[in-house]
Structure 1
Amino acid sequence: MERVIAWLYEKNPGLDEEIAPDEDLIEARLIDSMDFLEFIDLLEEISGSSIDLQEVTIDDFRTLDRVRERFLTPSVAAAG
C-alpha cells in the first residue's frame, strides 16, 4: 500500500496532508482520467495480477480502503 500512497503523492506534489483511507480519491482529484491507466498498471504490478476492466467498476478505485480490499488483499479462496 505504501507504493500506492507514494504514487498518489508523486502525482499530486502540492498535497501535504495525509490521505485518509476512506477519502474519495476521484472526487478529491487525486486520480484523474489522464493517470487512471497508469494507476491500474501500478496495481497490476504490485498485486502480480491482471485487472480485467470488464470485471471492475470505478468504485473499486475510489478509496484506499477499497483498493486494498479489491486488489491488494489475497482472496480467501486463493488462500484456501
Structure 2
Amino acid sequence: MERIAAWLHEKNPGLDGPIDTDEDLIEARLIDSMDFLEFIDLLEELSGTGIDLQEVTIDDFRTLGRVQERFLSTAG
C-alpha cells in the first residue's frame, strides 16, 4: 500500500498526511480519469496479475481498503 500512497501523493502534490483506507479516492479527486489507466497499471504491477476491466466496477477502486481487498489481498 505504500507504493499506492506514494503514487497518490505524487499525483496530488498538495495532499498532506496519510490517506485513510476508507476515504473515497474518486470523490476526493485523488484519482481522475486522466490517471485511472496509470493507476490500473500500478495495481497490475503490484499484484502480479492483469485486471480485466470487464470484471471490475468503479467501486473496486473507490477506497484503499477496497483496492487492498480486491487486488492485493494475495499479493506478497
RMSD: 1.1
TM-superposed CA distance for 1:3, in Å, is 0.4
TM-superposed CA distance for 1:18, in Å, is 2.0
Runs of 4+ in 1 over 6 A off after TM superposition: none
Which residue of 2 is the match for residue 54 of structure 1? 54
Relative to the length of structure 1, the TM-score reads 0.91
Structure 1: any 5+ residue segments left out of the alignment?
76-80
Q: Which has the larger radius of gyration?
A: 1
Which residue of 2 is the match for residue 10 of structure 1? 10
Size of the alignment, in residue pairs? 75
Structure 2: any 5+ residue segments left out of the alignment?
none
TM-superposed CA distance for 1:74, in Å, is 1.4
TM-superposed CA distance for 1:17, in Å, is 2.9
Which residue of 2 is the match for residue 73 of structure 1? 73
Relative to the length of structure 2, the TM-score reads 0.95
Which residue of 2 is the match for residue 78 of structure 1? none
